[in-house]
Structure 1
Amino acid sequence: MGSGEEANKPTSLYDSSSQSQPLLLKPPSIEEPNQPDQPESDPTQYLQISYNYGPRPFKDLPFVIFFVFVVLCTFGFGIFSVFHKNSNYSNLSSYKYDLNSNSCARNSTFNGFYESRFDFYALSSSGSVFLKSLIWTLVVTLILSVPICFLLLLSLKHYTKQIVYVSLPFFVVIPIFFNVYWFVACTVSSSCSDAFPLVYRILVLVFVFLIIGIIVWIFVANWHRIELTVKIIGVASDALSKNLGLFVVIPLLTLGLVVYYAPIVVFLVFARLNGKIVPKESNGEYRCVWKQDSWVPAYYTLAILTMLWSLTIMVEAQVYVISGTVAQWYFTKEDAKPRRSIRSSLRHAFGPSSGTVCLSGLLICVVRFVRAVVDSARQEDVPGMVNLVLRCCVKALLSAVDFLNKFTINFVAITGEGYCTSARMTYELLKRNLLSAVFVETVSTRLLAGITFVLSAIYAIVVCAILKGASSMGVYSYVVAVLAWALLIIVLGFFVHVLDNVIETVYVCYAIDRDRGEVYRTEVHEVYSQLPISRNHRPPIAPIAPVV
């Protein structure tokens, strides 16, 4: 590390090791006579865990090579499908079975294309008012979502407690309002009351009230954690406000994924055109059907798996960039500002750590796939004790993988180590030093999700009132309002996703600080030190603040 990094390091209880040592290398122990060997849990063994500013070697390289091979196969067969397409697919309905040749022949008098085009224009003209209102509403919502996100961030940074406590009653009031509103509206409307009998309306009404009661019970049971969660959200909002460039980079990465998806979707469309028209006998009658080439289903499987793996890789890459950027801010002195932190995180994510990101994305993809298979098997209700035990074991294994993977990519972004090393070091770090990771994840995430739901619901109510007062769409105004609510909650969900990753990154950085006996961010230690302590916690040496 260079001199700039030395200036960023706070005072420590221990002498710094030589800079030529590897990042996670244990410092040599000084052997004294008649002294027993140090136990493995001695915190001084792990003083080298910190942000790696130096050059990083490539890790987990076979997985990025395998991913590139899969993508090349997807694009290669996709290009083949484009040039190998059969243009007769769109004219399938014009083919008739010819008894003389025992094959399908085209009927030249067919005029289905013009009929379908006429139907399309007729359909589009009938719904032009609804379509125009929908487009304008979604465009305005998308534009307004940007200042809404920034205002929410600033509010959470300066007025976290007020925002949370003002939003808490709305978590109950808004569901009650919608529940009563739909019941009354459906009862008043003759068409709705005829299609939905009173008994079923009452059952749905009671069911929704039961869900609201469960929400109230959750808040009452976790009320003692609300105050601490408010402080955690405030600290994370302050960290995110110091790295606003993430709100530009992360959407651009998502846009890049969409651009990357576009040719694959085109290949999937053209893959359907690879085949031929053949006669098929059914109940003694022959008709012409489309028969795909035998390789098309396999290509569909390959392309869909490639898209899913690419999606999880992009999600992990975004987490990596967020973690690397926030970690550089954390491990910088409070009166200094890290330079090119986002650029270096991007370079590491798609460079030395690209194999680790691919491996993490593959694990997430496999876990989601196996969980979907287990859930579908449960819905089939297959009897047998062995089947029940296997499902429980698989769920326990998947939960363990999810927990292990949760903070691993944060640790990779900080240290630049490989996946397996980072998973082991993260587990040992958290085990040595405290802490209730579940607390950090669940309470803050639920509070943030509730706040976004409240804001989106209020916005949808305003949109619906404006549409009903300024237009004559009738019931379609509710459809537009629901779509506007969905768009805004997606954008705010992206904001919550970024803030959640900031919370987790600061959590890992705090654990590293605690493990080293140092304090880089005093305000973070004041908050995170109040987290519940693990039963097996061995208190580390008390940290001391850096000398400014």
Structure 2
Amino acid sequence: MAADDGDPTKFAAIYDTSSPLLSKPSTSSALDSPRRSDPESDPTQFLQISYNFGPRPFKDITFLLLFDLFVFSTFGFGIFSIFHRNTDYGNPSSFTYDLSSSSCVKVSTFESVSNSFWASDPVFEKDLIWTLVVTLVLSAPFCFLLLLLLKHYTKQIVYACLPLFVLFPIFFNLYWFVACTLSSSCSDALPLAYRIFILVFVFLIVGILVWIIVANWHRIELTIQIIGVASDALSENLKLFVVLPFLILGLVVYYAPIVVFLVFARFNGEFVPKEVDGGGGGYFCEWKEDSWVPAYYALAVLTMIWSLAVMVEMQVYVISGAIAQWYFSKDDSLPKKCIRSSLRNAFGQSFGTICLSGILIGVVRVVRAIVDNAREENTQGMVNFVLRCCANALLGAFDYLNKFTINFAAITGESYCTSAKMTYELLRRNLLSAVFVETVSTRILTGIVFVLSAAYAVATWVVLRGVSSLGVDSYLVAILAWLLLTVVLAFFVHVLDNVIDTIYVCYAIDRDKGDVCKQEVHEVYVHLPISRSSRSALIPNALNP
């Protein structure tokens, strides 16, 4: 349904909150019901929400400057540590305690250095390297093939993989139990009671997995539609699979000098006398780092963590910007240089917003790790319990507000705080959830990744057993190949998840304006439940016209 361009008052109306927007949809559209004005906010400030193709002002400049300060300080002190290093580090025998000066002085010594090398199997190294290289080369076409299959045969792929979610863990569980029982070395290292315990434990996990699938069976059809729409959008922006890996490669190149600086920072210090334990007047020379070295370690580690969070948020921003331009292009023609413009905004006017989001996410991850560690240690006391509850409440509130903030900032170019507020108001007015999009889609995609990578690992093991003489080591090579392919495909799922979130925000903007930019998206996203407890009454015929 196209919007009525001749009636501007229609867009200024606010939807009636008495009738849920995500109730059972009609076959034409769900945008015809009028809305009452909301006294708590000025609705006119949200009427023009759309992708900002024009010039954008710089936002959150303070955090941009703060991030630059961290980076320049890390590199500046790192360069200083290289030129200020003590070349005598690692040679304590070259120094002796001098009684006259009460200090350590350098003496001329001749040391014989013996090098030891780890013994390694050349056949294992060769097969491992070739297997990982082939896996890495094949991972790119695997992702592309998976995207095409999800775009055109979503239902077939999902329903074919669902039984394998259960059958593969059962097969591997029984296989290792039988193989370990038949192997004398494995059975000696792992008694029968422990093997049975692990076997039963894995079967319990499989049982929980079956329960999750059965409990969410009513949402499978909706999930298939969501994955299909997201795959179609991602297929229109295939250059993302070139840009996003380069962002990761850029982070690795950026990390390399910092790691070098951390190594050379250890070389800044001197040998100082230390009294032998037990007294007796004896002294020996001990290496002591300069007082600024621990502080530099802390600075460099914080910079690396913040940079990692910035890179992750940068990827989300670039994905959101590209997908939003695809969504709001009504003539079904993708704007030229959409990914380039999204990158320009990310590294330009919105870089401060990304830095702010990165530091917030980094702080939240650290706090969550501390809370989880305290829970594992079973710290007793009412005060600790209250502190954990408050921390969990604050973390939950942050997740609630931060869910779509960067997606919205990539679309509009607004600052972080403004994007968080406007996103919350946008979704609240349209009775959409700021937390829930469709978690089942993520779980199903993760299961598909597990099935494909496990099948590849089995095929790799079969080939290695046929062409190589690795023996038992073939299991290790196959497991490493499985891990590598899982990491690559998990990155693909991460990109697809961000596409789903971005389309959700674009859909909410459409609903708020009374517009329909992508009819196929509205036909699917209108079925999303308002909350996790709500079950959408799906009609298979309506979802599959």
TM interval, shorter chain, is 0.7 to 0.9
Cα displacement string for residues 39-98 of structure 1 (whole angstroms, at most 9, x for unaligned residues): 346866631111111111111110001110111111110001000111112334665667
Q: Does 1:491 align with 2:457?
A: no
SS of alignment partner, residue 56 of structure 2? coil
Q: Which residue is equivalent to 1:261?
A: 255
SS of alignment partner, residue 519 of structure 1? coil
Q: CA deviation at 1:399?
A: 1.7
Q: Which residue is equivalent to 1:420?
A: 417
| 1:355-374 matched pairs, under 5 angstroms | 355-374=352-371
| 1:302-381 matched pairs, under 5 angstroms | 302-381=299-378
Do the aligned partners of 1:63 and 1:355 also contact (CA within 8 Å) in 2? Answer: yes
Q: Which residue is equivalent to 2:112?
A: 111
Q: Does 1:155 align with 2:152?
A: no
Q: Distance in 2 between matches of 1:99 and 1:167?
A: 77
Q: Which residue is equivalent to 1:216?
A: 210
| 1:107-186 matched pairs, under 5 angstroms | 108-112=109-113, 115-116=114-115, 119-120=116-117, 123=118, 126-186=120-180
Q: What is the TM-score when the length of structure 1 is the normalising length? A: 0.87
Tell me: CA distance 1:45–1:309, structure 2 relative to 1, closer, same or farther (3 Å): closer
Amino acid at match of 1:15: P
Cα displacement string for residues 433-487 of structure 1 (whole angstroms, at most 9, x for unaligned residues): 1334554242111111110111111111111111122112222111111111111
Q: Distance in 2 between matches of 1:131 and 1:91?
A: 34
Q: Which residue is equivalent to 1:77?
A: 77
Q: CA deviation at 1:428?
A: 0.9
For the aligned residue pairs, the C-alpha RMSD in angstroms reads 2.4
Q: Distance in 1 between matches of 2:4 and 2:71?
A: 48
Q: Distance in 1 between matches of 2:178 and 2:99?
A: 63
Q: Distance in 1 between matches of 2:105 and 2:368?
A: 45
Q: Which residue is equivalent to 1:251?
A: 245
Residue 386 of structure 2: which of 384, 389, 410 is its match?
Answer: 389
Q: CA deviation at 1:406?
A: 1.6
Structure (1 or 2) with the greater helix fraction: 1
Do the aligned partners of 2:151 and 2:231 also contact (CA within 8 Å) in 1? Answer: yes
Q: Which residue is equivalent to 2:497?
A: 500
Residue 298 of structure 2: which of 298, 301, 315 is its match?
Answer: 301
Cα displacement string for residues 26-48 of structure 1 (whole angstroms, at most 9, x for unaligned residues): 99xxxxxxxx9873468666311
Do the aligned partners of 1:56 and 1:416 also contact (CA within 8 Å) in 2? Answer: yes
Amino acid at match of 2:522: H
Q: CA deviation at 1:148?
A: 0.3
Q: CA deviation at 1:288?
A: 3.9
Q: Distance in 2 between matches of 1:50 and 1:430?
A: 15
Identity of paired residues, percent? Answer: 69
SS of alignment partner, residue 88 of structure 2? helix
Deviates further, 282-291 or 363-372? 282-291
Q: CA deviation at 1:208?
A: 0.9
Q: Which residue is equivalent to 1:235?
A: 229
Cα displacement string for residues 338-376 of structure 1 (whole angstroms, at most 9, x for unaligned residues): 111111111111111111111000100110111112222
Residue 184 of structure 2: which of 190, 193, 199 is its match?
Answer: 190
Do the aligned partners of 2:60 and 2:352 also contact (CA within 8 Å) in 1? Answer: yes
Q: Which residue is equivalent to 2:287?
A: 290
Amino acid at match of 2:130: W
Q: What is the TM-score when the length of structure 2 is the normalising length? A: 0.88
Amino acid at match of 1:237: S
Deviates further, 177-186 or 493-502? 177-186
Cα displacement string for residues 493-540 of structure 1 (whole angstroms, at most 9, x for unaligned residues): 1111110000000000001001111100010000001111369x9xxx
Any unmatched runs of 5+ in structure 2? 14-35, 535-545
Q: Does 1:453 align with 2:450?
A: yes
Q: Which residue is equivalent to 1:543?
A: none
Q: CA deviation at 1:109?
A: 3.5
Q: Distance in 2 between matches of 1:489 and 1:234?
A: 21
Q: Distance in 1 between matches of 2:434 and 2:165?
A: 25
Cα displacement string for residues 272-291 of structure 1 (whole angstroms, at most 9, x for unaligned residues): 11112334323456544322
Tell me the matched-pair count.
506
SS of alignment partner, residue 362 of structure 1? helix
Residue 528 of structure 1: which of 511, 516, 525 is its match?
Answer: 525
Q: Distance in 1 between matches of 2:243 and 2:153?
A: 26
Q: Distance in 2 between matches of 1:266 and 1:173?
A: 47
SS of alignment partner, residue 291 of structure 1? strand
Cα displacement string for residues 302-335 of structure 1 (whole angstroms, at most 9, x for unaligned residues): 0000000001011111100100100000000143
Q: Distance in 1 between matches of 2:125 and 2:360?
A: 41
Q: Does 1:15 align with 2:12?
A: no
Tell me: CA distance 1:93–1:398, structure 2 relative to 1, closer, same or farther (3 Å): farther
Amino acid at match of 2:224: V
Tell me: CA distance 1:129–1:54, structure 2 relative to 1, closer, same or farther (3 Å): same
Q: Does 1:514 align with 2:516?
A: no
Q: Distance in 2 between matches of 1:55 and 1:258?
A: 31
SS of alignment partner, residue 253 of structure 1? helix
